[in-house]
Amino acid sequence: MAGTGSDPDLPGQFILDTTINNIPERWISERIGDWFLGCHPTLPVIRLIDEKGQAAGWLLGYAIDEGGRLLQDKDTLRVNNLIDGGESCEEEFTYRFGGRFLTIFAGSRWPRVYLDPCGSLSAVYCPHCKIVASTTNLIPYDDLTNGRVDLARELGIPYTNAMYPLDLTPRYHIFRLLPNHYLDLSTWQSVRHWPSGPIQGMIDVEKAIGIISAIVRRNIAAVTKSIPTYLCLTGGQDSRMLLACAKDVANQIELLTFSLSDDDVTTIDIAIARQIGKKCRIRHSVLPPREPTPEDLKEWMNRIGFSTGEVRGWQGCTMFRQADPAYARLYGVAGGLGRAFWSREYAMTDTVSPERLLDYCRAPYTRETLEAARQWLDRIPFTNASPIMDLFMLEQRIGCWAGVWPYAYGDDPGFTLFPMCHREVITTMLSLPAGYRRSGNLMRDIIQHEWVELLGWPFSEPIGSLKITLPVRRLWKMAGNVFRNPGSIIGGIGNQRPGGK
């Protein structure tokens, strides 16, 4: 059983503990002072040292430095000012990097854990056990850490796209560390470190496009230099923006598109991606649909500890096995921040309630969930609704969803990475004029700046013969549903009436 020194199948995962007993067999283990780090062999470990060469901690995962280099397993990095500087040195060091990673300062005057800007290498922690881990799987059960059975039942995971709200997890007394927070290993408190106040300044659009595209280009190039790379291309804006920024290394990537049975969205994705690949002479592969096996479904959810809902990814788990595990996968996660995806409907003077936050999570209103939402709202250093919802999207949707599901995949030596995951990219997107962000033009404008020919295809709309065949297919599907359930059309009409049930 995980958490008892056994050898669970949890690739890319880690545990930080005050005892070696909970580290799975055959995992790599290291020690600094009272802290034991255990990592699955597929997870890169970079050693951190202070100015005197003493062990200060670790950087785990796939970090890209300012020079465009993907750090490698067993690298050693020096952290300046740990001895003579202030506590901000840890944050300043961490957010020099892009990629999917976290830092652990176990041998510092300020023992802390920091996530990357998106929380894309997610972490949970148990204060009374004094354990930090990638998922709840690695934390042993005791009388205080049993499952939140009632909440889990109401969320309906894995059969829904619901999310555990904010720092709640499937188990009591185990909490998720959110993006923009560090975990103080001396007090076991999560502390918000960014933003410390309203995000200042209003950046010029052209300047913002230059900053974002340069960092995304650098991150993509760093990955392609190190490992064969899939760019996961859909029909949407965010992945196409990644492709635009990959123009200089297009001959080193392979476009990858997923297919789910009887799914209009992936049908459109495939048609657009196939044409782009052909026109731009980039290799393009489509993973054909495969019925998920019970074993794969169980493994997918077990690896993430049933910590979030992601129906399409879960149902596609057997299909994903057709991809080459030696390839890195690049996804366009975080682009929604640039077009105010969760905040566009809010005026600055609106109020955000705990209940509204829970609605986004598809979570019930319980004493526990409402308290988690209230506490989160109380700790935000501003009251304007629009930036609150931007922050909520970053910390909930990205940190508690996109930071979790990559653990489901056992790629080796491949890995998942979000090229937009960089503090300067996040800050720049959130500093754009509100009207421009709400226009949704940022990704389109970056594409025009980097590779204008990619605007020759619509975003997520049928092309070619699909303009005719998809509507016909939808009508046939609707007719089949009515035939199988004649009462559904009556119920559907009733639901559209005022007061209809």
Residues 100 and 64 in one domain: yes
Residues 386 and 241 in one domain: no
- Distance of CA 228 to CAs 100, 221, 224, 321, 325, Å? 17, 11, 6, 17, 10
Q: Tokens 């490992």 — which residue? A: 227
Residues 426 and 317 in one domain: yes
Residues 36 and 121 in one domain: yes
Residues 334 and 224 in one domain: yes
**Does 348 reside within a domain?**
no
Closest to 17 measured CA to CA, from 3, 50, 167, 91: 3
Residues 286 and 363 in one domain: no
Query: Which stretches of the chain drop beneath a pLDDT of 70?
Result: 1-7, 200-201, 262, 480-501
Would you call 241 exposed, middle or buried from its count of C-beta atoms within 10 A (0-12, 13-18, 19+)? buried
Sign of the Cα torsion 393, 399, 404, 409 reads: positive
Q: Residue 263: what pLDDT?
A: 80
Residues 287 and 211 in one domain: yes
CATH code for the domain of 220:
3.40.50.620
Q: Residue 477: what pLDDT?
A: 72
Q: Residue 328: what pLDDT?
A: 96
Q: Residue 486: what pLDDT?
A: 61
Residues 403 and 387 in one domain: no
Residues 108 and 256 in one domain: no
* Lookup: tokens for 234: 């859909």
Residues 377 and 404 in one domain: no
Q: Residue 201: what pLDDT?
A: 67
pLDDT digits (tens, 9 = 90+) for 464-486: 989 888 888 778 777 766 666 66
Q: Give the other-Cβ count within 10 Å of 345's Cβ.
A: 11
Q: Residue 61: what pLDDT?
A: 97
Q: Residue 279: what pLDDT?
A: 96
**How far apart (Å, rounded) are the C-alpha atoms in residues 217 and 158?**
35
Domain termination site, one of 192, 221, 236? 192
Query: What is the count of structural domains for the chain?
Result: 4
**Does 226 reside within a domain?**
yes
Closest to 45 measured CA to CA, from 108, 106, 115, 102: 102
**Does 165 reside within a domain?**
no
Q: Residue 475: what pLDDT?
A: 82
Cα 473 to its chain centre, rounded Å, is: 33
Three-state SS for 282?
A: coil
**Does 60 reside within a domain?**
yes
Q: Residue 98: what pLDDT?
A: 98
pTM of the model: 0.92
pLDDT digits (tens, 9 = 90+) for 379-413: 999 988 999 999 999 999 999 999 999 999 987 88
Q: Residue 483: what pLDDT?
A: 60
Q: Residue 371 sits in which domain range?
A: 354-392
Residues 130 and 21 in one domain: yes
- Does residue 430 contact residue 337 with C-beta atoms inside 8 Å? yes
Q: Residue 492: what pLDDT?
A: 43
Residues 369 and 445 in one domain: no
